[in-house]
Structure 1
Amino acid sequence: MPLFRISVSSNPKKEISDAVLKEISANVASILSKPENYVQAIFQANVPILFAGTDAPSAYVEIKSIGSLNPGNCKSICNYVSTLFEDKLNINGKRIYFEFTDVAPSMWGWDQNTFG
């Protein structure tokens, strides 16, 4: 796994959100050196978000992974996603918060079992 959950205040067309998900799935797998067939990406649009006192377009991005997060690749993900969101979703990188969580294998389940 990693899990990549995106919440945005805007409501982009489905083809745009689908394209963003596909691009993120492939690139996050590469950045984290994980097989893409374990990546789950979730896109939640039209989420009410107030950031810095305004409702201008913004996003919250949650990344969870087992054992592959470090300061270097977290910065790489922030840079990559901020650029992608500015280009595809018209969300300024200064209006995006990221949360990274390194999950113990025994605390993440899949296919009737856990990873540890």
Structure 2
Amino acid sequence: MEGYVMIVLKGSVPMSFGGTEQPTAYGELVSIGGLNPDTNKKLSAAIASILETKLSVPKSRFFLKFYDTKASHLMSLSHL
């Protein structure tokens, strides 16, 4: 897992997960290439550990969405 990770947290957002309002989290991870099932599994485990130890969000109460994009796509958007 090379590269950089940027995390933005928004607290106090009303959320319901599994029908309850217990502590929960939703995240989106965007990568410029490099995502694969093994990497996704490692990233999920690391993020789950942080959420659980620092924010008291159990591993079973978060959803993480992965996006893998190409650098050329991002560069074309930056020229708009």
Question: Cα offset for 1:41?
Answer: 2.3
Give the alignment partner of residue 98 of structure 1, picking from 56, 64, 77: 64
Q: Deviations over 1:29-84 (max 9, x none)?
A: xx2x11x3xx4321111111110001100000110011110100100011111111
Q: Report sequence identity in percent.
A: 31
| Residue pairs, 1:1-116, within 5 angstroms | 31=1, 33-34=2-3, 36=4, 39-109=5-75
Which structure: greater strand fraction?
1
What SS does structure 1 have at the residue aligned with 2:42?
helix
Once residues 48 and 103 of structure 1 are traced to their aligned partners in structure 2, the CA distance between those partners, rounded to angstroms, is 30
Once residues 48 and 107 of structure 1 are traced to their aligned partners in structure 2, the CA distance between those partners, rounded to angstroms, is 33
TM-score after normalising by structure 1: 0.61
- For structure 1, the residue ranges without an aligned partner over 5 or more in a row are 1-30
TM-score after normalising by structure 2: 0.85
Runs of 4+ in structure 1 deviating by more than 4 angstroms, as ranges, are none
What SS does structure 1 have at the residue aligned with 2:9?
strand
Once residues 74 and 24 of structure 2 are traced to their aligned partners in structure 1, the CA distance between those partners, rounded to angstroms, is 29
How many pairs does the alignment contain?
A: 78
Question: Cα offset for 1:105?
Answer: 1.4
